[in-house]
Amino acid sequence: MFSTLLTLPTCWEQLQKTDKPIVMYGMGNGADRLLTIFEGLGVEVKEFFASDAFVRGHSFHGKRVKKLAEIQEEYEDFVIVVAFAVQDRPTMDAICRLNEQYELYAPDLPVAGETLFDREFFLAHMDELQQTCDSLADERSREVFLDLLRYKLTGKIDPLMKTEDGREEVLRELLPFGKNEAFVDLGAYNGDTVAEFLKACEGTFDAIYALEPDGKNFKKMGKRLEEMGLGSDARICLCNAAAWSEPTTLYFAAKAGRNSTVTAAGKETPAESVDHVLGGARASYMKLDVEGSEREALAGAAETIRRHRPKILLSAYHRSEDLFALPAQINGIAEGYRFYLRRFPYIPAWEINYICIPE
C-alpha cells in the first residue's frame, strides 16, 4: 500500500509544471510561507483573491486582492492554492465547491518547524510511517492515516475530507469518563477543553490541572470557571505557564489565540513540567495541544504517564514528524498503549489527534 503512494504526484510537482495561471486564495502568514516556498520552486502566483466580505481594495505582495468573480472574468481556467486555515463549515463547503470546479490545492504546511511533508520526507520516513500505521488499534485509524498521507503528499482535499469525524462523537466513544477523573489539560487555551471535560463527566471529578502560557487566554479561562461557579474550587489548579520538559523560562510569541508558540525570542514566559506540577499526584486523563511542543511536554510528563497510565488525547499535526514520532515516544515511556487516530473538521490537516488508551 505504501509503495503506491510513491506514484502520487505531489502538489509541489504539480504546481511547478502547470501551464495554468496560479491564483492564491487568502492572505496572511500562511500565504507568506507558501510564497517563500514557491520562490524556491520557481512557482509564480498570478493573482490573489479573498472571500467577497474581505475584499476592500487592499493589496498583498504588490498585487490588488480581488474577488473570485474578477478572477473568473479574467481567466478561463486557473489553479487555486488555498493559503489559510478554516474550520467553519460554510467556508469549508465553499472550498469544496471550488474544488469541484477547478484544480485546487491546500498544501500541507507544518504549524511548527520548517520541514515539509514532501516526497523526500516521505521516503526518508516510510518505514516509520508503515510501522505506525500497522500498529493502530482499529480499521478507521488506518483509513485516516492513509488518507492523511495521500493529502499531505498531494495537497488535494478529497482524501482530507474523508478523514473527518465529529469531535463530540469521538470523545464519547473512545474516552468515556468516570466520576473520579483527574484531568491534566496542556494548552488549556480559554478553558474550552476544561468545560468540555466538565460536561463529559457531568461535573463530578477529583482534580483538574490546566496549563496555559498566554496571559489573555489564561484570564479568559479563569473568568469562564468563575462563571461556572468553580472560580475558587480547591480541586482546580490553574497554571499560567507553558508545558515543557522541566520547570524553566521560555520565550513565547503570544498571539492570544490557539496558535501562540514557543519561539527563540519574544516575551519571557514560565514553563512547567507535568511531573513537577503534580508532584506524584494521580492523572487519569491528559490532553496535549501545545503548538509543536508536544515532544517536550510528553518528556515532562513521563513519570506521571509511567506511574498512572492516563488516557491521552494528543495533537499530532504541528510538526511533519508528529504522525510517527509522538506515538513512538509514548511507547518509549510506557508500553501497552492502544493508539486510535481521528481528525476533527478543518482545512488544511489540522486537528489530527491520537487517542491513547492504556491496556
105-163 per-position pLDDT tens digit: 999 999 998 899 999 999 999 999 999 999 999 999 999 999 999 999 999 999 999 99
Coil, strand, or helix at residue 236?
strand
Question: Maximum CA pair distance of the chain?
Answer: 65
Q: What is the pLDDT of residues 159-200, one digit of tens each?
A: 999 999 999 999 999 999 999 999 999 999 999 999 999 999
Mean pLDDT of the chain: 94
Q: What is the pLDDT of residue 263?
A: 60
Which residues, at least 6 apart from 160, have a Cβ–Cβ distance to it below 8 Å? 106, 147, 148, 151, 347, 348, 349
**How much is the pLDDT for 257?**
44
Q: Give percent above pLDDT 70 in the chain.
A: 96
pLDDT at 262 over 70: no
Task: Give the per-residue pLDDT at 278.
Answer: 98
> What is the structure's pLDDT at 113?
86
Instruction: Report the pLDDT averaged over residues 295-307.
Output: 98
Give me the mean pLDDT over the 220-240 stretch. Answer: 97
Look at residues 332, 336, 292, 345 and name the one whose alpha carbon lies nearest to residue 314. 292
Q: Within 13 Å, how many C-alpha atoms sit on residue 110's CB side?
A: 18
Region 39-63: what's the mean pLDDT?
A: 93
Rounded Cα–Cα distance for residues 212 and 189 (Å): 6
pLDDT digits (tens, 9 = 90+) for 8-30: 999 999 999 999 999 999 999 99
Q: What's the whole-number mean pLDDT along residues 316-335?
A: 98
Q: What is the pLDDT of residue 114?
A: 87
Asked if 178 and 201 touch (Cβ cutoff 8 Å), the reply is yes
pLDDT over 50 (residue 256): no
Question: Residue 175 is placed in which grid cell?
Answer: 474516552
Query: Using an 8 Å Cβ cutoff, are 300 and 199 in contact?
Result: no
C-alpha cell at 136: 493502530
- Is the predicted pLDDT of residue 252 greater than 80, yes or no? no
User: What pLDDT, on the 0 to 100 scale, is given for residue 2?
Assistant: 83
Per the model's pLDDT, the better-predicted residue between 253 and 65 turns out to be 65
| Per-residue pLDDT at 264 exceeds 70 | no
pLDDT for 254 beyond 90: no
Cell of 341: 487516530
State the pLDDT at residue 53. 86
Check: CB of residue 326 under 8 Å from CB of residue 299.
no
Is residue 284 within 8 Å of 182, Cβ to Cβ? yes
